[in-house]
A and B are shown apart, each in its own frame.
Chain A
Amino acid sequence: MPLASGRVPDRKRSFDPYALLQLSGVNACPRKKTGIYHFKKFTMKKLHLGLLVVLLAAGTMAFTKPAAQAKETSFAWFQTDGAGNVIEPTDEPPFQAEDPNGCPNSGLTGCSKAFDGSELSGGVYSPTGALEITHKKP
């Protein structure tokens, strides 16, 4: 007759220590690790690693330059005539922070303007987006 744990007592031996422990209420049989145990352990490990990666990404983001500062770094620069009208070039206008035309940031007549971007249309580049900076020359 098997014991509660499913183990059949050894009839050849007069003394079965496991049977004695079973009768005394002690669970002598070690817990059998099934496949679901390994799967749950693997899942938790992968979950912890994934959460660590997400936290790492959030931490890296903390060292990224704020967008408000990044917005001011690059513009599409266009030369303007004396009246301040944009001269649309055939070559792609420079996209950078500093004015490539050497125009001062003060003055009375047109020199250059900076926009958010540019697009090619009809063989020339025209400004797109908002006017960000206007440079004039005396």
Chain B
Amino acid sequence: MLRKIIIIAVPYLLMFLFAYTSLSKLGDRSFFSSQLGLYPYIKHIHVFLSWALPLTELGVVCLLLFPATVRIGLYVSLFLLLVFTAYLGAMVLAGVHLPCSCGGVMRKMSWRQHILFNGFFIVLTGYAFSQWEGTGPEKIL
């Protein structure tokens, strides 16, 4: 029962997370772009990333919206979360202390809190992805 609840709820949780963060970033794109310009290794492409990241997140929301593409959406979500978390972890280990360029309330989190938050979603998404058997109601409900 818990397995079915997790499998059904995870796509909606991810939809909420990515829709919220992408709309927050797009709502103040210039600030987001300037914040990205402070980050090492990506500062030279911060303008491109300020558009690409939120639009990619909205694309993931669209993938998770339709039953036929949920599995692909879960895969892309897992990939994005892993990349984000790996980059945050590298920054923390390198001792770089920068303001969070996150969207919305995630901005109030410390780097370690954000990594734990991402880790929680990575575990949930990975589990849902591994257990996803199909898109028909007879395979989920």
Please give the residue numbers on chain A whose beta carbons come within 8 Å of chain B beta carbons, in ascending order: 38-39, 42-43, 46-47, 49-51, 53-54, 56-58, 60-61, 64, 66-68, 70-71, 74, 76, 92-93, 95, 116-120, 125, 128-129
Contact = CB atoms under 8 A, between A and B. Distances in A.
Sort chain B's interface into a size bin: 20 to 34
B19 A57 contact: yes
A49 B12 contact: yes
Name B's interface SS.
helix
B96 A117 contact: yes
Interface stretch (B45-53, B75-83, B99-107, B117-125): B99-107
Interface string B62-105: 00111100000000000000000000000000111111000111
Contacts, number: 95
B137 A68 contact: no
Given A50-B66, A68-B28, A117-B38, 7 more contacts: A50-B15, A57-B16, A67-B31, A71-B99, A117-B98, A118-B96, A119-B96
Q: Count chain A CB atoms within 10 A of each CB in B17, B23, B32 and give the residue with the most.
A: B23
